[in-house]
Structure 1
């Protein structure tokens, strides 16, 4: 999350490997923007294990305009600091980052 007073991105929460994708999406606030990174492990149709690092810019419609502007204006700079991002999603509601979307973008 962006800490406005300190003007920096801080890690608000870390997930556990045993957590599901649904646990991950449920942990995002319903009315505040966040940056999120998810390590998506899956099997291809050929039964080959694969992994994709997904960057999600979560900007729900219910968040305040100032919050949306701060996240939108700093997203590219922040994303450049991350290594290994393979897929980027911009989501304003949970359906835009559903597991079906993740799977279709990962293959």
Structure 2
């Protein structure tokens, strides 16, 4: 259910525009993994090499030097991820609201018979 928000000017941003193709691909793959895993922009170190088939440690260095990734305990934080994307807590609350709404609808449907 979660999705990733990327501004339509993302690729033209100076931090992104200057990236090599490999670093760009790694960054986008990491953004997608964070959205899918609802990690609030955190990617574990052991997962990074598995994000792209062309991974090289120098790509991470490039992303850090560009200011897009910041070192964190056992991984990396993606800069400004939560400025553009909803946190895990928002998705958890949405699921709970949706489940409650659907349960009420089902209950009403059964009692209307």
User: Shorter-chain-normalised TM-score: which range?
Assistant: under 0.3
Higher relative contact order (CA 8 A, sep 6+): 2
Q: Which structure has the larger Rg?
A: 2
Higher relative strand content: 1
TM-score after normalising by structure 2: 0.25
TM-score after normalising by structure 1: 0.26
Higher relative helix content: 2
